[in-house]
Structure 1
């Protein structure tokens, strides 16, 4: 009966998987023990086992590597689009702001209202840095005490500081967490701003063209197509629910038949196979969800897109698989077999409530006819 399963179009997950995107100006690949993002990651993940942090430099490259995934393998070639895609899949975008690079990231993420609400800036207090790192345009645009509509969440904290001498004429302050720990005050502020509420799935039938609420996903029906427009939160919820379906998990766990080539080539084949399985099932489940409500539309093709331009379905699902790999939800063995970890099975279990297996003979007849 599983092959006839479909999605609920509305549902609530009480303790969801939450992805936190951590941004900063420098990542020390050789010694990560004192890296501020690693320390931040350890704290956030200690608050709730369902919290998972993503540091791009820790997991991905623009070239082949035995230990890291290659963006270009899934047709992602611009760091701007990668950061946008990561932020769309994240609960919070936390930026350790200290440089021109992180200022550019703040500008990038604040350009979309739905992302603006996710951004949290951690900035050294003026008494530590000896200057306010949020000045001029940034102050007026994102930290304005008089016009607060577009303000971002800002936490000012007290790090340690040392001066790095790039040359005789150039010195730059570098900041660190004393004793490689967050201060108690910073912990309290962070904890209060980490999402802890349930997540809602809401895919509505919309019979009009001026529907622009990006927090609600929608579908519409015309003479030829069923058109589904998803926000990324809902895409992630639907994909996670597929990992609770036994026959889908079995397919994902089965290694690709072609085991020729290098480890990297075989790993890539395993990832692409997983993407294909998720994409085909996402389309099939959504199609049957809509047929369950509108049986007369079963012969129409289904199109899936997003509220955001420039990202297609294949890229979105591929990157979602990358995120699961980077957050240790999925592993790939030395025989290039995808492993769904026990932790991921436990976290994703609650998403099974989004899956409906029909018992109504009339509905099965509609799917089969």
Structure 2
């Protein structure tokens, strides 16, 4: 591999081609074409080639890795709450198919983070169709309150096809489906409106030195500060996702990560490359050599260790079909040809040789 050095641009005009949608909620059956999440996934991904949907149960399990699934244990993710929060942070929108107490708990969990809450929507069946109001008074007053619209979550009601399941003389359960297994009419319009709400096709990212060691809250700013031994950076999670995707545009890096024979090797390859480029970037901005500084990366409003974030990012890439991670059956890291659509950009530049860069 050639000994070349790269940096991110200090200010970057970005047209992010990748949009990720997280579908969670009601019970999921992977191979059932009637399953509402399968139907909604097909609809969303049909809208645009760069729209990708994540359904956790479709790809991931706890414990030992099974055929066709990745294990959270391989990237040290033991807690479903952290997994769902991190998936939500990596996603552009979250849609909860709300029909039970457990899905209400997911709504409560996402509401604890304002960045997640504002991009969350609940999809609920019509009251008369299922003879039951799925939205409790607490949810209505806490999350759908018209008196505080800025703190309310989007609700979309649909009119389902139902199957009755008579449990007893006094209780009937309804299994709900989208009519004809299609998203159309007002439901399609409402989902499309939610998907496009607050969407910015082009936005700017910039590195900015912190004042008084306090990170900036703006989602377009990468905050940083440093001392004699440490370099600290604080990232909004969406920027992390964009910059990690960008690294795959480097020919040398693709060669390196393709040589990974285990998931941990792929995680280390991406983590090392990202940190190296960040040090080069800040060295150029500050005219200071940070090669021997300890790099500490924080994620805005989240305490998940950065290596776990890298691991889960690679899991996400596999879930949306961009890469294939090494496994016991295949000791190869495979990059899909269609991934180039997402990582072909100009956010990284090669550092030209100079007296200063020769120190890096």
Mean Cα displacement is larger for which, 110-119 or 120-129? Answer: 120-129
CA positional deviation for 1:325:
0.8
Could you tell me how far apart the structure 2 residues matched to 1:234 and 1:313 are? 14
Matched length: 351
Mean Cα displacement is larger for which, 69-78 or 10-19? Answer: 10-19
Q: 1:2 to 1:349 in 2, by over 3 A?
A: farther
Q: 1:250 to 1:171 in 2, by over 3 A?
A: same
Q: Which residue of 1 aligns with 2:255?
A: 250
In the TM superposition, what whole-angstrom CA distance separates every residue of 1:109-130 from its partner, at most 9, and x where no partner exists?
0111111111011111223233
Mean Cα displacement is larger for which, 299-308 or 288-297? Answer: 299-308
CA positional deviation for 1:337:
1.0
Could you tell me how far apart the structure 1 residues matched to 2:169 and 2:303 are? 45
CA positional deviation for 1:360:
4.9
Mean Cα displacement is larger for which, 353-362 or 332-341? Answer: 332-341
Where does 1:4-43 land on structure 2 (aligned, <5 Å)?
Answer: 4-29=5-30, 31-43=31-43
Q: Which residue of 1 aligns with 2:230?
A: 225
In the TM superposition, what whole-angstrom CA distance separates every residue of 1:189-212 from its partner, at most 9, and x where no partner exists?
111221453254333211323445
* Residue 52 (structure 2) pairs with residue 52 (structure 1): yes
In the TM superposition, what whole-angstrom CA distance separates every residue of 1:145-177 from its partner, at most 9, and x where no partner exists?
222221011111111122223456543222101
Within the candidate set 289, 302, 309, 2:281 is matched to 289
* Residue 200 (structure 2) pairs with residue 197 (structure 1): yes
CA positional deviation for 1:56:
0.5
Could you tell me how far apart the structure 2 residues matched to 1:6 and 1:213 are? 24
Could you tell me how far apart the structure 2 residues matched to 1:345 and 1:59 are? 23
- Residue 305 of structure 1 aligns to a residue whose secondary structure is strand
Q: Which residue of 1 aligns with 2:297?
A: 304
- Residue 362 of structure 1 aligns to a residue whose secondary structure is coil
Mean Cα displacement is larger for which, 114-123 or 247-256? Answer: 247-256
Where does 1:1-369 land on structure 2 (aligned, <5 Å)?
Answer: 3-29=4-30, 31-64=31-64, 65-166=66-167, 170-195=171-196, 196-198=199-201, 199-213=203-217, 215=219, 216-256=221-261, 269=262, 271-298=263-290, 299-332=292-325, 334-350=329-345, 353-367=346-360
Which runs of 5 or more residues in structure 1 are unaligned? 257-268
Mean Cα displacement is larger for which, 117-126 or 243-252? Answer: 117-126
In the TM superposition, what whole-angstrom CA distance separates every residue of 1:237-290 from its partner, at most 9, and x where no partner exists?
11101100001001111253xxxxxxxxxxxx1x21111100001110000000
Higher relative contact order (CA 8 A, sep 6+): 1
Over 4 Å off, 4+ runs: 166-170
**8 Å Cα contact 1:7-1:356 kept in structure 2:** yes
Q: 1:174 to 1:211 in 2, by over 3 A?
A: same
Q: 1:212 to 1:164 in 2, by over 3 A?
A: farther
Which runs of 5 or more residues in structure 2 are unaligned? none
**8 Å Cα contact 1:15-1:50 kept in structure 2:** no
Could you tell me how far apart the structure 1 residues matched to 2:51 and 2:166 are? 37
Could you tell me how far apart the structure 2 residues matched to 1:24 and 1:2 are? 48
**8 Å Cα contact 2:215-2:224 kept in structure 1:** no
Could you tell me how far apart the structure 2 residues matched to 1:214 and 1:116 are? 17
**8 Å Cα contact 1:160-1:176 kept in structure 2:** yes
Could you tell me how far apart the structure 2 residues matched to 1:126 and 1:183 are? 20
Q: Which residue of 2 aligns with 1:260?
A: none
Q: TM-score, normalised by structure 1?
A: 0.90
Q: 1:331 to 1:309 in 2, by over 3 A?
A: closer
Q: 1:359 to 1:26 in 2, by over 3 A?
A: same
CA positional deviation for 1:131:
3.4
Could you tell me how far apart the structure 2 residues matched to 1:10 and 1:42 are? 36
